[in-house]
Amino acid sequence: MSVLIKNVLVGGKERNIYIAGNLIEAISEAGGIKEKVEEAEFVIDGKGKAAIPGLFNAHTHAAMTLLRGYGDDMPLHEWLSTKIWPVEARMTEEDVYWGTKLACLEMIKSGTIFFNDMYWHWEGSARAVAESGIRAALSAVFIDGFDEAKPKEQIRRNEALYEASKKLPDRIIFALGPHAIYTVSEESLYWVKEFSERNDLLVHIHLSETGEEVEECIKRYGMRPVEFLEGIGFLSSRTIACHCVHLSGKEMELLKKNDVKIVHNPVSNMKLAAGRMLYEGLKKAGLYSNIALGTDGCASNNNLDMFEEMKIASLVHKAFSGDPTSMPAEEAFELATRNAAKMFRLDSGVIEAGRLADVVLLDLKKVELVPNHNLTSNIVYSANGSCVDTVICDGRILMDGRKVEGEEEIKDKASEVAYELVKQ
Q: What is the pLDDT of residues 121-141, one digit of tens each?
A: 999 999 999 999 999 999 999
Specify the number of domains making up the chain.
2
119 inside domain: yes
Residues 335 and 308 occupy one common structural domain: yes
Residue 34's pLDDT is 66
CA dihedral 160, 163, 165, 167 (to 10 degrees): -130
Report the pLDDT value the prediction gives residue 29, as an integer from 0 to 100: 84
- Domain membership of residue 420 (yes or no) is no
Task: Please report the pLDDT score of residue 35 as a whole number.
Answer: 62
In this structure, what CATH number is given to the domain that contains residue 356? Answer: 2.30.40.10
Q: 284-304: per-residue pLDDT in tens?
A: 999 999 999 999 999 999 999
Residue 418 lies in a domain: no
Indicate the pTM of the whole model: 0.97
Question: The domain containing residue 205 runs over which residues?
Answer: 55-343
Burial of 38 (0-12, 13-18, 19+ CB in 10 A): exposed
Do 176 and 34 fall within a single domain?
no
Q: Which residues of the chain have pLDDT under 50?
A: none
Are the beta carbons of 392 and 326 closer than 8 angstroms?
A: no
Do residues 247 and 285 make contact, with C-beta atoms less than 8 angstroms apart?
no
Residue 417 lies in a domain: no
> 343, 361, 387 — which closes off a domain?
343
- Minimal CA–CA distance to 295: which of 340, 264, 337, 330? 264
Rounded distance between C-alpha atoms, residue 138 and residue 62, angstroms: 10
| Residue-level pLDDT at 229 | 98
Please check whether residue 238 is in contact with residue 201, taking contact to mean a CB–CB distance below 8 angstroms: yes
Peptide bond before 266: cis, by omega within 30 degrees of 0?
no
Q: Are 200 and 332 in the same domain?
A: yes
Query: Is the domain of 337 the same as that of 375?
Result: no
